[in-house]
Amino acid sequence: MSVWIGVDLGTQSVRAMAVTGGGDVLGVAARPLDSHRDGPRHEQDPEQWWQALAGATREALRGVPPERVAGVAVDATSGTILLTDARGGALTPALMYDDRRAADEVGRVNEVGGHVWERLGYRRMQPNWALPKLLWLLRDAPPGARPAHQSDFVNRRLTGHDVATDLSNALKTGVDLIEERWPAEVLDALGVPAGILPEVVRPGAWLGVVCPQAAEQTGIPAGTPVVAGTTDGCAAQLGAGAQRAGSWNSVLGTTLVLKGVTRELIHDPLGVVYSHRAPDGSWLPGGASSTGAGVLTRDLPGRDLDALSAQAAAGFGTRSPGAVTYPLVSRGERFPFAAPDAESFTLGDPADDVERYAAILLGAAFVERLSFDYLDLLGAPVDGEIILTGGATRSAYWTRLRADVLGRPVTLRENAEPAFGMAVLAAGSAGGELAGMISTRAVVEPSGADLREPYLRFVGELERRGWLGAAAARHARERSAR
């Protein structure tokens, strides 16, 4: 059976997996990455990506016969960019996905390209997106400098020659996802030199093969096909198996991220939902909230969260804990509404840490439900499978609570991490049967608990504070009454 290599270029580490066409993980390894942060700046050394990838892939492939390795795909953090020379060597540090030093450029980017961003459904770019950062980098760029996304830098090392970039990683650099090309008139007006951006292809496209030098360093056999990857969020979605229209992957860890599949492009008047392009040409809309489990370690420092989960399950069962917390990890909300001044609040008065814990879990579940309500308002299909991934799925109580709030069964997968998703993408690019790679751990049915009253009270408070718009609040109430 063929073996597929998936590589995840994350923020804190590079992770590699060797996966069979039947979904069995034969090897997995990771290597840490260093970051340099200073105010709005967040940089990494691109050379460290390559060194970490080489170490991780060599370890993951131990014991795997070279003749079984059939392909490799790499995902990367969305919006990370750097400048390289003609040979692919780094000329600058990498400006990471959340680097915000290009704040002065984003106004001009939106003024010049606003009509394109509007047509693409996200309306405007943010300061941490790749195109504003590219303009910032080009201020002092030497002649011949070329931009490269994080995955481009690594894929060029793997193949030994220039490579195309994928539409997913190119989204935040301004690629026209509808026409699948760079918007030359916008880039020209912004002063981006013609011809310096790489060719664009869909995720899953063939980029080349692993060259002998890369094979010696990485342990990936020379001649192995290299497949265009995606961003890390899309990679996790592929790993979760959310690939049919109407299906959604809800990732709840430090923060909450929803990603789904639609046949048509979704346009969001608020700009909090934007869509990637899938390998088959369908659309992958999604949004990232600032709420999530990160609040637990902030508000309950040093507590045993597994013990609190067990106590909450025993104490509340399927009942509402009474109090509910809007669990913002930091000031400001991004999805399912945009409110830069939003901050955490609690409705009710938790009696102890168990109730505080349960109130945070309930609030995150309410934000998740509100996200689906908002997506439904935009016309996105939300009637398919809901797949839960992320660290929150370790809590059986939280998973049941989320099913109750959604009023829907939820699916848990055996493996849904980004590196696994890249192995799935590599297999799919060669015509592999993807269904055999995705396995379900459990399907959790709702208990029948009625949590509509506290949910609508929560929605009303968000509206009262001026953060949630009237149309979204009204739609949430209408959907809850169905």
3-state secondary structure 342-395: CCCEEECCCCCHHHHHHHHHHHHHHHHHHHHHHHHHCCCCCCCCEEEECHHHHC
- CATH code 3.20.20.140 for 3-233: no
Residue 434 is predicted with a pLDDT of 65
Q: Which two tokens stand for residue 394?
A: 């370790």
Q: Which two tokens stand for residue 431?
A: 């015509």
Residue 321: strand, helix, or coil: coil
Residue 433 is predicted with a pLDDT of 59
Query: What architecture is the 242-415+450-481 domain classified under in CATH?
Result: 2-Layer Sandwich (3.30)
Strand order in the sheet with 410-413: 274-277, 283-288, 256-260, 248-252, 386-389, 410-413, 440-444
Q: Which two tokens stand for residue 482?
A: 């169905």
How many angstroms separate the CA atoms of 97 and 88, rounded? 20
Q: Do domains 3-233 and 242-415+450-481 have the same CATH topology?
A: yes
Distance linking the first and last C-alpha atoms of the chain: 48
Q: Which two tokens stand for residue 295?
A: 């609040």
Count other Cβ atoms within 10 Å, centred on residue 341: 10
> Long-range CB contacts (< 8 A, 24+ apart) of 111-117?
112/186, 112/189, 112/190, 113/174, 113/183, 113/186, 113/190, 116/174, 116/176, 116/183, 116/186, 117/174
Rounded-to-10 torsion of CA 324, 330, 336, 342:
80
The one-letter amino acid at 296: L
Radius of gyration of the chain (CA): 22
Composition of the chain by helix, strand, coil, percent to 5:
40, 20, 40
- Within 8 A by CB and 6+ apart from 445, the residues are 403, 409
**Element at 311 (helix H, strand E):** helix 305-316
Q: Single out the residue of 75, 73, 88 nearest to residue 220, CA to CA.
A: 73
Beta strand 41-44 with 36-38 is antiparallel
How do the domains of the chain map onto residue ranges?
Answer: 3-233, 242-415+450-481
Return per-residue pLDDT of the chain as tens, 482 residues. 899 999 999 989 999 999 999 999 999 999 999 999 998 999 999 999 999 999 999 999 999 999 999 999 999 999 999 999 999 999 999 999 989 999 999 999 999 999 999 999 888 898 899 999 999 999 989 999 999 999 999 999 999 999 999 999 999 999 999 999 999 999 999 999 989 999 999 999 999 999 999 999 999 999 999 999 999 989 999 999 998 999 999 999 888 999 999 999 999 999 899 999 999 999 999 998 999 888 998 899 999 999 999 999 998 877 788 899 999 988 899 999 999 999 999 999 998 999 999 999 999 999 999 999 999 999 999 999 999 998 899 999 999 999 999 999 999 998 888 999 999 999 998 776 566 799 999 999 999 899 999 999 999 999 999 999 999 999 999 999 98
- Within 8 A by CB and 6+ apart from 168, the residues are 78, 203, 229, 230, 231, 234, 276, 277
The one-letter amino acid at 176: D
How many angstroms separate the CA atoms of 411 and 197, rounded? 40
Beta strand 386-389 with 248-252 is parallel
3-state SS track over 57-90: HHHHCCCCCHHHEEEEEEEECCCCEEEECCCCCE
Q: Is residue 452 a contact partner of residue 405, using CB atoms and an 8 Å limit?
A: no
Q: What is the largest CA-CA distance in the chain?
A: 66
Cis peptide before 336 (omega within 30 of 0): yes
- Within 8 A by CB and 6+ apart from 264, the residues are 283
Count other Cβ atoms within 10 Å, centred on residue 315: 14
**Considering the entire predicted model, what is its pTM?**
0.89
Q: Which two tokens stand for residue 223?
A: 């001649």
Answer left, alpha or beta for residue 202, where phi above 0 means left and psi between -120 and 50 means alpha: beta
Q: Is residue 91 a contact partner of residue 82, using CB atoms and an 8 Å limit?
A: yes
Residue 95 is predicted with a pLDDT of 97
Residue 207 is predicted with a pLDDT of 98
Q: Which two tokens stand for residue 29?
A: 């390894």
Answer left, alpha or beta for residue 63, where phi above 0 means left and psi between -120 and 50 means alpha: left
